[in-house]
Amino acid sequence: MGPEPDVTGKLDEENILTLGKFKDILSKSGKPVKLLIMDQEKIGGVGNIYATDALWLAKVNPKTPANKLQRDKVTELYKAIHTVLKAGLKYGGASELAFVTPDGAEGEYQNHTLAYGQQGKLCSRCKKAKFEKYFLGGRGTYICPICQK
Ligand SMILES: [Zn+2]
């Protein structure tokens, strides 16, 4: 398993996904960026719901080849991944993920998603386009066609 975004403060230093490691991992792959950040061998802990929301938050098209992402976008995406994972922790995680509340309850994050599951709804940021859904690598992917050109 690859390094993980440190949102709990409990990871050993060598397992933490630093911005430097994130840049390095992205620069070495021409895969669609969404599939790369969900590849547990490369980066741990980013499930489909969080990947979808982080890409919307950073205004990145999920199909962009990872090594073609602009530098400032790489940094934005790195921050966005941490933002959505922290929101996930706050809501006790999403059911598809490893984050489970101490009492074992399924998380509530899926009720607070930014883009995931929002097809047909107006984008809350640009308020000009509706979310579209398609499948990428077999997983449901939701984008705002304006924000994530
Ligand atoms: Zn939008």
One pLDDT digit (tens) per residue for the chain, 149 residues: 899 999 988 899 999 999 999 999 999 999 999 999 999 999 998 999 999 999 999 999 999 999 999 999 999 999 999 999 999 888 876 655 444 444 445 578 888 899 999 999 999 999 999 999 999 999 999 999 999 99
Instruction: Return the sign of the alpha-carbon dihedral for residues 80, 85, 90, 91.
Output: positive
Single pTM value for the model: 0.91
User: Measured in angstroms, how far is the CA atom of residue 122 from the centroid of ligand 1?
Assistant: 8
Place of tokens 């059911």: 95
| Packing angle, helices 71-90 and 48-57, rounded to 10 | 130
User: Measured in angstroms, how far is the CA atom of residue 148 from the centroid of ligand 1?
Assistant: 7
Instruction: Return the sign of the alpha-carbon dihedral for residues 70, 75, 77, 78.
Output: positive
- Residues paired with 140 in a beta bridge: 135
Structure confidence at residue 25 (pLDDT): 98
User: Measured in angstroms, how far is the CA atom of residue 17 from the centroid of ligand 1?
Assistant: 28
Dist CA 80 CA 53 (whole Å): 8
User: Measured in angstroms, how far is the CA atom of residue 41 from the centroid of ligand 1?
Assistant: 31
User: Measured in angstroms, how far is the CA atom of residue 3 from the centroid of ligand 1?
Assistant: 30
Contact 65, 32 (CB under 8 A): yes
SS3 (DSSP) at 22: helix
Dist CA 97 CA 19 (whole Å): 23
Nearest C-alpha neighbor of 43 from the set 61, 63, 72, 66: 66
